[in-house]
Structure 1
């Protein structure tokens, strides 16, 4: 069956970011990796149950694979949540392999990311409660944008008080008031 570019799948709905339960914060993580240069952009966005953006980060680093980059993004998200003093947290990623590896038996994961997964598990033990969820890319747009901006070297920072202007429109697309209250 050949579908035109204008065709719409019946019943298709776009995935969107959703707020975590009351008293929880949601930490969305993502990576953008370029195989030729091995340069990875790591994005983290932290929001509370009222959808208020509390902070985030855009960082760059080298990574040998896309899954390694995703694991580093997750570790950055865990560290940022801990630094912010968050005790109840929902972590989200659009990498099924990463989420399954963090939630499951890390011995069955790719051996190349085993040390990063171990560090994620150790760091998560400091939270009162936490969970790891896979989400569709459409529900992870802000972290994706942060990662892409980092890889293109448009942003390389941790923010808590001033959101990079390049991310305001992505958060607005998630249904948040803009500029977001920080």
Structure 2
């Protein structure tokens, strides 16, 4: 997983990547929020606009009445403990995914070639990939 911190003009000023052993994408998304806030706190950034494309995570952060998926509850608790370190935090839902929601079953052709080069199986990307 990775996090990027941008300034008010949209320029990257910091970033980091982490290995993850989570069992679901929602857990990774929630943990990325925690890691991003920890990095921002370390950099002493006071006002944050946190952007994620995971609607459920943003909803859990923005609405205390919302009961999130049990898998992300520990990470939401960590976020709540980090909140006092900032003057202001706004939660923002990023533009929805640019690729298909079903990309795991029908990945973009660029990803198929990477999977094949790594020796992993991938679905055919077009009729030209079929063997007759």
Q: Same fold judged by TM-score > 0.5?
A: yes
Conserved? CA contact 2:22–2:28, under 8 Å = yes
Conserved? CA contact 1:107–1:114, under 8 Å = no
CA distance in 2, matches of 1:111, 1:58: 25
Aligned with 2:20: secondary structure? Answer: strand
Conserved? CA contact 1:82–1:127, under 8 Å = yes
CA distance in 2, matches of 1:135, 1:112: 22
Aligned with 1:98: secondary structure? Answer: helix
Structure 2 unaligned blocks of 5 or more: 99-132
Report the equivalent of 1:69.
Answer: 28
Instruction: Choose 47-56 or 125-134, whichever is displaced more.
Output: 47-56
Structure 1 unaligned blocks of 5 or more: 1-41, 140-182
TM-score by length of 2: 0.68
Report the equivalent of 2:8.
Answer: 49
CA distance in 2, matches of 1:92, 1:77: 10
- Count of residues in Structure 1 that have an aligned counterpart in Structure 2: 98
CA deviation string 1:56-99 (max 9, x = no partner): 11111100211111111110001000001100110000110110
Aligned with 2:51: secondary structure? Answer: strand
Task: Classify 1:118/1:47 alpha carbon distance in 2 versus 1 (closer, same or farther; 3 Å).
Answer: same
Q: Shift of the alpha carbon at 1:109?
A: 0.7
Question: What does residue range 12-161 of structure 1 map to in structure 2 within 5 Å?
Answer: 42-105=1-64, 108-137=67-96
CA deviation string 1:30-65 (max 9, x = no partner): xxxxxxxxxxxx111111112221101111110021
Q: Shift of the alpha carbon at 1:103?
A: 1.1
Conserved? CA contact 1:106–1:114, under 8 Å = no
Following superposition, which runs of at least 4 residues in structure 1 exceed 6 angstroms of deviation? Answer: none
TM-score by length of 1: 0.50
CA distance in 2, matches of 1:46, 1:77: 8
Select the structure that is richer in strand.
Answer: 1
CA distance in 1, matches of 2:58, 2:34: 12
